[in-house]
A and B are shown apart, each in its own frame.
Chain A
Amino acid sequence: MGLTDLMSMAKPNLESREKILRKLRGRELINCFQCIKCTSGCTALKLLELKPHEIEKLVNFGFVDELAASDIIWTCVTCLKCVQRCPQKASPYHVIVALRNLAVEREAKVPEAFMKAVSQILETGLAEAYQKVTTRKMEVCDRESLKLPKIPAPKEGFQAVFLKALEER
């Protein structure tokens, strides 16, 4: 859902806020003084209206549940300009990642591709399937025809351990 709609009935939740701060492990979100350097350089601002400084402020005010349910946290391109330029080391990128993790925990609407990648990794070790590609002259190639070596998938024990890792909060 859009953040504006969610905010019309918003209630701050300090417990959820605590949860995000714990996930951030000491990144000083509280120090954000709204200089808007993050938003003015944000790659996703122009096309998707992501405003990292707003996210910082909303988390500080405790509107974490609304953010975790919103679409806006999935618009970040992860270009990391906000982390680089933040004078307060409040790192909007890491806040967004923490919010995404929380959204997954709460089974909110998560773009399908992320979950697909996870199941692909469970199955094969890689997040993507091996593809056939074509040359500019439309000849079809794959790793074998290009004489690229075969690299084996992870050994059997991997799947169980990775599943266990996914259980961690």
Chain B
Amino acid sequence: MRVKVAVFWGCCILASQYAYEMSVREVLPKLGVELVDLREALCCGDPVRSVNDFAANYLSARVLALANLTGLPNLLVPCNRCHFTISEAKRAVERDEKVREKIVGMLKEEGLEYNPNIKVWHVIDLLHDCVGLKSVGKAVVKPLKGLKLASHVGCQIIRYSDLGRVDDAENPRKMDELIRATDAESVDYNEKLDCCGSHLMLSHPDTALSLAGGKVKAVQGLCVDGLVVSCPDCGLMFDSKQKEAGTTVGAKLNLPVLYLTQLLGLALNIEQEKLGLQLNQSPVDQLLSKVSA
């Protein structure tokens, strides 16, 4: 199967979580998904939502209008937060005539056209539902047998169900199934649905870090080889800020954290450099030595 999709990265991936971007750009084409960048880099509107709901919807609608310029009916949004913000805006534009009129008019001023029929995908459902577990499994050339992993799917990609999310809100399975497609083991654990806290970095950074630290500490206690994430915010909190998070909860944290696409890349035998694995700040070397052994 080959499919061509437009891709919207958001801010966090483009500005700092390069490992996620690199691994998505490497892995997806190998699974038959061709990526087309949008014309411009733009914020989805998430931090603006708290300031002005309308302006947030405008930014999200503008993202969809930029996607419309590519002529492709599918848009990949690898960030949980962007995926949620765009989905909420889509609904507001759909349901509220006044909002729709205003936003469509504003986009017109820039020569842009809103297209309500663009389908928004995340890496999880694109791989699980569109590419399919079978195709992912078939593409695996280096099974990751023996790896025991915990998955963290994040909050905004599974909640709230009424909005149409990629997986079940209380019992998400798709990410675990993708992990298992590489022959690795994915464990269930009590803290699976706990939040990484990243939104609080804007107002209460210490609390944000202790939320992240608490979860990493709990996962570390499971004696797993690593934690798999699929959102740049979660990656930022659990990987880039793991050391700081450890200090706030008074624990020595050394849990390898990597992106789902990095894990899949390893199973597809893509070079580690190309997957950005040198950029992870958590001690992924432990996990990598187990993979190459």
Contacts and interface: CB of A to CB of B under 8 A. Distances in A.
A binds B: yes
A72 B154 CA distance: 23
A121 B48 contact: yes
Nearest to B274: A147
B15 A47 contact: no
Contacts of B279: 133, 135-136, 141
Given A47-B211, A74-B203, A100-B51, A165 B106 contact: yes
- The dominant DSSP class at the A interface is loop
Interface stretch (A1-9, A54-62, A106-114): A106-114
Interface string B158-187: 011110000001100000000000000000
B11 A151 contact: no
A26 to B, nearest CB: 9
Interface in A139-158: 139, 141, 143, 146, 148-149, 151-155, 157-158
B47 to A, nearest CB: 4
Interface stretch (B34-42, B122-130, B262-270): B34-42
Contact of A146 (B11, B22, B160, B211): B22
Nearest to A96: B50
Interface residues of A, number: 61
Q: Which of B55, B169, B207, B211 has the most CB of A within 10 A?
A: B55
16 contacts: A75-B203, A75-B207, A77-B200, A83-B162, A84-B160, A84-B169, A121-B43, A126-B43, A133-B18, A136-B280, A139-B278, A151-B40, A152-B39, A157-B110, A157-B111, A165-B59
Interface of A: 23, 25, 43-44, 47-48, 74-81, 83-84, 89, 97-98, 100-101, 104, 110-111, 113-115, 117-118, 121, 125-131, 133, 135-137, 139, 141, 143, 146, 148-149, 151-155, 157-158, 161-162, 164-166, 168-169
Interface of B: 9, 11-12, 14-16, 18, 21-22, 25, 37-43, 46-55, 58-59, 62, 84, 92, 95-96, 102, 106-107, 109-111, 155-156, 159-162, 169-170, 193-195, 197, 199-204, 207-208, 210-211, 276, 278-281, 285
